[in-house]
Amino acid sequence: MSLSHRLPPGAPAVDPYYVYAPRPDPQRHGVLTLFVAGLPDDVKPREIHNLFSHRPGFDHCLLEYTGRGNQAVAFVTFFTHEAALSAMTSLNGTIFDPETGDRLHIELAKSTSRRPRGGGEVYRVIDKRANKTEGNADHENVGDEGDEAAWGEDEDGGSDDNGDGGSDEPSGTENENSSDKNELSADQSDQPAHKQQNGQSPSNDGRDKSSSDIPPCSTLFIANLGHTCTEDELKEVLSKEPGFHVLKMRRRGGMPVAFADFTDIESSTAAMNSLQGTLLASSDNDGLHIEYARSKMRKS
């Protein structure tokens, strides 16, 4: 089975919103590591870290540039099997690069990655690529430099070493985004905190338009939730965002909506940028749609 099927941007949809259903695979039970495919070849280890390190139970991650198929894969390890599953269901299908529309394909790895030596704190990178097509040699192989030594081949009789199996990708898909920089919507919470309340000045074009026309607010309005979304599911994601206070869910007939209150506009803005489009396990659409609320949540 091929687990990395990238679709050309104009291709007919083959169920583009499918969420990986964790099969009852006894072999994978208890594995703490996720196998992440669908990454562009110019992905940075920092991007993987930014995307996963906010998830509860995150332990460490590894990015490998496979020499084959112009693709990179990542192995992300959590402290518990449940945390790994939770991150998988919430991040699987995430659009990693809006320009190509490529989505992450995440499944449990075949075995748990070995922890970096000494409880390491830097990214682990393995680069098997011969031709660095995009001048991509800015990353350094810190820590473990052994080519095959990273994700731990325990004793599960693995016939192959990583979750990729033998199915690599025919590089027939056109992959020409050479002129444009790709953007990752994972974590851009580093914008400078300017505390001046700017209204709707037209001189402010294209800089602060995180939300459409709603002025910034420390409370966020969250829509596009699945019918089965629970408050706990949403709270689990929100609680990792700095400054998060309280969540309230309302369901007006059909689709539930939620309000999340933060300490200030800076933290609510950062959380909105970080979580925009996040796919939950209960999501059946594009993922979370987050805006500033029209009015602040009442003080508890």
Partner DNA sequence: AGCACA
Q: Which token pair is 90?
A: 């919430």
Distance (Å, whole) CA 176 – CA 76: 28
Q: How far is the CB of 225 from DNA (least distance, A)?
A: 9
Q: Which is nearer to DNA, 113 or 268 (CB)?
A: 268
Q: Which of 67, 142, 223, 228 binds DNA (CB under 7 A)?
A: 223
Q: Report how many residues bind DNA under the rule CB under 7 A.
A: 22
Picking from 77, 76, 103, the residue whose alpha carbon sits closest to that of residue 20 is 103
CA dist., res. 68 & res. 56, Å (int):
32
222 forms beta bridges with 258, 290
Return the H-helix or E-strand segment holding 105: strand 105-108
**List 70, 86, 113, 224, residue binding DNA (CB under 7 A):** 224
Contact between 210 and DNA per CB under 7 A: no
Question: What would the two tokens of residue 227 be?
Answer: 């019918």
What is the rounded CA–CA span in Å between residue 291 and residue 162?
Answer: 40
Q: Judging by DSSP bridges, how do beta strands 72-78 and 58-65 pair with one another?
A: antiparallel
Residues 127-186 that bind DNA (CB under 7 A): none
Using alpha carbons, select from 214, 226, 269, 281 the residue that is nearest to residue 244: 269
Q: Which part of the chain contacts DNA (CB under 7 A), choosing from 84-92, 132-140, 188-196, 219-227?
A: 219-227
Minimum Å gap between C-beta 249 and DNA is 9
Examine residue 20 and tell whether it contacts DNA (CB under 7 A): no
| Helix or strand run (H / E) with residue 75 | strand 72-78
Q: Does 219 bind DNA (CB under 7 A)?
A: yes
Q: Nearer to DNA by C-beta: 128 or 227?
A: 227
Helix (H) or strand (E) holding 179: none
Q: Which of 80, 133, 228, 295 touches DNA (CB under 7 A)?
A: 295
Scan residues 275-294 and list those touching DNA (CB under 7 A): 285, 289, 291-294
User: Nearer Cβ to DNA, position 85 or 293?
Assistant: 293
Residues that bind DNA (CB under 7 A): 214, 219, 221, 223-224, 248, 250, 252, 255, 257, 259, 261, 285, 289, 291-298
